[in-house]
Amino acid sequence: MTRKFNVLISAVILSSLVACSSKPKQEVQDTLRVDVGTEIPTFDPALSEDGYTYRVINDLFAGLVDFDQANRPIPGMATWDISDDGLVYTFHLKPGLKFSDGSPIKASDVVFSWRRLIDPATGSSYAFLLRDVANGESIIAGKKPASELGVVATDDNTVVVTLAHPTNAFLNYLTTPDVFIVPEKVVEKYGSNWTQPQNMVTSGAYTLKEHVVNGYILVEKNPEYYQESQVKIKYVKYFPFVDINASVSNYKTGALDTTWQSVPVDQYATLKKQYPTQLHSFPWERVEFINLNMTLPKYANNLKLRQALSMAIDRKILAETILGGGQTPLNGVVTPTIENGKYKDIQYSWTNLPNEKRIAEAKELYKEAGFSASNPLTVTLKYQTNDLYKKVMISVASMWTEELGVKVNLVNEERKALSQDWRNANYDISSGTWGADYNSITTYTPQYLCNNGNNRSHYCNPKYDALINQAEATVDPVKQEQLYKQALNIVMQDYPIIPLYQPVHQRLVAPRVQGYDIDTNYLDNVQTKWMTLSND
């Protein structure tokens, strides 16, 4: 059976399953129906690493620190005290906390969850969230066991965390689903099968009831959740629409309450006119880019080629004409909006060159890199199966071919497969995407650290790592900002990735969904517990 036929069959099954949502009226009234854009690769918080998965994990699990709809850290399952020197955080668990099976959530479960996250044996690309905790760096490097992490349970209700150095971002880190609390007894009993619906025990607002691969995920309100009285929606059903046209079609028929993070480019203007109050579009704290596989000598050893490929792309045309939904050109390795614009000056020196001069410089660099019309570069560009990414990558390929003569083979993959290829450096050139988990520059800096799980270009420059480590150990915010900027400028000069544009949220939200302040949620971290359903 061909891949194309498999995708077709999956689409037919998915459409049928959504159509079947016209079940008893009471079930529809009690169920929020959400598109999450793809089949999520895991239900394990420690292994989650993308917005698709976070949308589900945020409903199933909870952490010591919660977040509001403006993405600010707020008390979750615990309150806390911080020592005067900023090194010791004492978390006090709220009384009566329970997992979904009714068993108590203890401080030992927190210690277990965090040790598991940072343990190299777990294989989490988000282990870096705990690198600032005492011994965190050594554990990630395999030099010390996870049991030596600076996190201890002094009794069943108290967790004491000792940091290696002060960091203003620590509470922000703890709002990320990877550090949410999982039940030690269940994970130990079932191993990798603990996330199967029949085995899973959760700490969050919902529990997992059903999972039909490439069909849907159904969760039900958790009666043991510590904020149970605030959870108004009984069921949530998540659908993995890869085809955004199908997602919009199902929204129009009333089979979906919210679409995912974009609408078809060629339908945006029409949909905005048709659904002026339901279609939300606003800047997103996220970067879209292209990874150059820095494990391959043809890129690692040829800076001029990397720069030529970057300079040959007209980001203004890409963002404003080809996409045209509010996206903005991105000329740096971080957004100009993170931390309210502190890093907006991180951009290429040639950003404002006239188009003709920029292209002329790209052509000269390409020639100096050893390529020409008689000896063209041939690349294979992998991208995520998605109509928007397809449109973007076809446009990039056309620019490279037209301006430099590069021969481009385009290959699309489902997100789950592409994630593994990123991890294993199993690609030539690939699409890349990164959404901020919190409003700190440190949400982007790990992408460029040597051997970091989220460094998908596999770039490594020890000078960058040294500056980042120095910045993270610096208490003075002015000096810290200067060090981060020095480090990021090194990445800019090394060209391991090719930034393309900063995207926008484009999401249709049905009028019956109340309490969802989507326009303030620039990180797109979402929890169903904020919402209610009005079925008038």
C-alpha span between 497 and 260 (Å, rounded)? 26
Q: Could you tell me the pLDDT band of residue 289, with boundaries at 50, 70 and 90?
A: very high
Which among 187, 222, 252 is the end of a domain?
A: 187
**Is residue 197 included in any domain, yes or no?**
no
With b meaning 16 or more CB within 10 Å and e meaning fewer, what string describes 177-210?
A: bbbbbbbbebbeeeeeebbeeeebbbbbbbbbee
CB 246 within 8 A of CB 8: no
**CA 12 – CA 371 distance, rounded (Å):** 45
- 19-33, 164-178, 307-321: segment of lowest average pLDDT: 19-33
Residues 6+ apart with CB under 8 A from 356: none
Q: How many CA atoms lie within 13 Å of 192's alpha carbon, on the beta-carbon side?
A: 5
Cα 317 from Cα 126, distance rounded (Å):
34
For residues 328 and 433, state if they share a domain.
yes
Burial class (CB in 10 A: 0-12, 13-18, 19+), 289: buried
3-state DSSP of 334-364: CCCCHHHHCCCCCCCCCCCCCHHHHHHHHHH
pLDDT in tens, 138-185: 999 999 999 999 999 999 999 999 999 888 789 999 999 999 999 999
Nearest-angstrom CA–CA distance, 179 and 116: 10
> How many Cβ atoms sit within 10 Å of the Cβ of residue 361?
16
Which of 152-156, 321-325, 351-355, 411-415 is predicted least confidently? 321-325
The dihedral over CA atoms of 390, 394, 395, 396, expressed in degrees to the nearest 10, equals 100
Strand runs (DSSP E) across 20-103, as ranges? 31-35, 65-67, 73-75, 78-82, 88-93
pLDDT, one tens digit per residue, over 60-97 is: 999 999 999 988 899 999 999 999 989 999 999 999 99
Residues 318 and 390 in one domain: yes
Please check whether residue 192 lies inside any domain of the structure.
no
Name the 3-class secondary structure at 49.
coil
Pair 423, 320 in one domain: yes
Residues 312 and 276 in one domain: no
393 plus 269 within the same structural domain = no
- Domain final residue, candidates 138, 155, 187: 187
On whether the CB atoms of residues 318 and 310 are closer than 8 A, the answer is no
Confidence band of 348 (pLDDT split at 50, 70, 90): very high
- 258 band by pLDDT with thresholds 50, 70 and 90: very high
Give the Cα separation of 33 and 447 in Å (integer): 33
Residues 126 and 246 in one domain: no
Whole-number pLDDT of residue 282: 80
Please, how many CA atoms are within 13 Å of residue 246, restricted to the half-sphere of its CB? 22
Does 259 share its domain with 291?
Answer: no
Residues 340 and 401 reside in one and the same domain: yes
Per-residue confidence band for 109, with pLDDT thresholds at 50, 70 and 90? very high
The CATH number of whichever domain residue 150 belongs to comes to 3.90.76.10
- Report d(CA 209, CA 238) in Å as an integer: 12
For residue 341, is pLDDT > 80? yes
Confidence check: pLDDT of 9 > 70: no
pLDDT > 70 fraction of the chain, expressed in percent and rounded: 95
Residue 479 lies in a domain: yes
Task: Assess whether 210 and 316 both reside in one domain.
Answer: no
The pLDDT score that the predictor gives to residue 8 is 40
Three-state secondary-structure class, residue 329: strand
- Say which CATH number the domain at 307 has: 3.10.105.10
Centroid of chain to Cα 101: 29
Give the tens place of pLDDT for each residue, 412-469: 999 889 999 999 999 999 999 998 888 889 999 999 999 988 899 999 999 999 999 9
pLDDT-derived band at 27, boundaries 50, 70, 90:
low
Q: Are residues 248 and 371 in the same domain?
A: no
270 φ, ψ to 5°? Answer: -65, -45
Average pLDDT, the chain: 92
Tokens of 417: 């497969």
pLDDT of residue 249: 96
Q: What is the CATH number of the domain that holds 48?
A: 3.40.190.10
Percentage of the chain with pLDDT > 90? 81
Give residue 2's pLDDT: 39
169 and 250 in a single domain? The answer is no
Containing domain of residue 317, as a range?
286-502
377 lies in some domain: yes
Residue 243 φ then ψ, to 5°: -85, 105
Looking at the structure of the chain, the number of domains it has is 3
Last residue of a domain, one of 154, 187, 220: 187
146 and 53 share a domain? no
**Rounded CA gap, 383 and 404, in Å?**
21
Assess whether pLDDT exceeds 60 at residue 13: no
Query: 116 in a domain, yes or no?
Result: yes
Helix (H) or strand (E) holding 422: helix 415-424
Give the pLDDT confidence of 363-410 residue by residue, as tens digits: 999 999 999 999 999 999 999 988 889 999 999 999 999 999 999 999
